[in-house]
Amino acid sequence: MLKILLIILIVLVLIVVGAIWLCSRLAKKVLHPTAKRKALDVWPDQYKLPYENICFKTADGVQIKGWFLPNDTSDKTIILMHGWGMNRGDIFRNTCFLYDLGYNLMYFDFRALGESGGSVSSIGYLETKDLQAAIKFLKETRGYACNKIGLYGLSMGGMVAICEAAQNKEIACVAAEASYYSFRKVVSRWAWVHNKVPYFPLMAMILHYMRKRLKVNPEQFSPKFNVSKIAPRPVFFIHGRYDNLVPAAQAKLLYKSAGEPKEIWLVPGAKHNKCAEVGGFEYKQRLGDFFRKYL
């Protein structure tokens, strides 16, 4: 009997140790997305658009690289931000049509992704520093283009756009596509979709490791705590009705929490980050109309 109990105890210890190792590994995989850093394969000159390579540093010393597309007839700029595991080229092809509507466009790679420096990605919290540095750079070097500033963000970029607009009254309007509602929910969903990790008890451990590594609780920066602070400036939520990573219910919660004026479009048949591809002409029309109306 004692021998059996000892074996059971050893098995339990091994399970616990294995769970701790797995949780630590998954937390590191999210926070240090080295495998997701990929080279750009899209450039503005492929679309016959003028652009300038830009480079600036964040308040915590991370070098950020991007593009600025000057539109000589405009004093208004839209800053466009990609999602986790992506780079600026991934959103350029679906959003560069906004240049033809008469806006300056600014794209940059978030830290630890694309051509930017850094090795830690926080899925939103640290990335707000990247956007703040971008706005500061824009105002210091291209003040003529800052009469009005609008934000567009995809997925993680949508979260960053919402959080910055909540704090920065200089932001005129926000278009948030496939943005998550809660940091805890999106990390839990990602872990289940990609690694089949159940929320209980492993996700609690993973979130603990992430908080420990970041030295802050990212949940407090979730859009659900910030979206209501954007009003009376307008916000437009775009979301795939069949988003497999961030369910459309989260977009509905954001819309419900936001103040007026607000709009929401659930794109039929679209999964995560596929609204432009599925929406086609209607996507360009709706996004363009939003910025024409409020910027």
Question: CA 52 to CA 50: how far, in whole Å?
Answer: 7
- The pLDDT of residue 11: 44
pLDDT tens-digit readout, 198-218:
555 555 666 666 677 767 777
Is residue 142 a part of any domain in this protein? yes
DSSP conformation class of 188: H
CATH of the domain at 177: 3.40.50.1820
For 264, the 3-state DSSP assignment is: strand
Is residue 58 a part of any domain in this protein? yes
Q: Single out the residue of 215, 243, 74 nearest to residue 158, CA to CA.
A: 243
Beta-bridge mates of residue 69: 105
pLDDT tens-digit readout, 126-184:
999 999 999 999 999 999 999 999 999 999 999 999 999 999 999 999 999 999 998 77
Residue holding tokens 């690289």? 65
DSSP assignment string, 124-182: TTTHHHHHHHHHHHHHHH-GGG-SEEEEEEETHHHHHHHHHHHH-TTEEEEEEES--S-
Split into its structural domains, the chain has a count of 1
Is residue 12 a part of any domain in this protein? no
- The pLDDT of residue 30: 61
Q: Enter the pTM of the model.
A: 0.87
- The pLDDT of residue 57: 98
Cβ density class 202-230: b for 16+ within 10 Å, e for less: bbebbbebbeebbeeebbebbbbbbbebb
Q: What domain range includes position 103?
A: 48-182+222-294
Query: Which of residues 194 and 106 earns the better pLDDT score?
Result: 106
Beta-bridge mates of residue 271: none
With vertex at residue 127, the alpha carbon angle to CA 124 and CA 131, rounded to the nearest 5 degrees, is 125
Question: CA 177 to CA 162: how far, in whole Å?
Answer: 11
- The pLDDT of residue 199: 53
Q: Single out the residue of 269, 239, 282 nearest to residue 97, CA to CA.
A: 282
Is residue 32 a part of any domain in this protein? no
Is residue 29 a part of any domain in this protein? no
With vertex at residue 290, the alpha carbon angle to CA 284 and CA 293, rounded to the nearest 5 degrees, is 130
Is residue 240 a part of any domain in this protein? yes
Average the pLDDT over 36-40 and give the result. 86
Beta-bridge mates of residue 78: 105, 150
Is residue 23 a part of any domain in this protein? no
pLDDT tens-digit readout, 219-235:
788 899 999 999 999 99
CA 27 from chain centre, in angstroms, equals 18
Is residue 198 a part of any domain in this protein? no
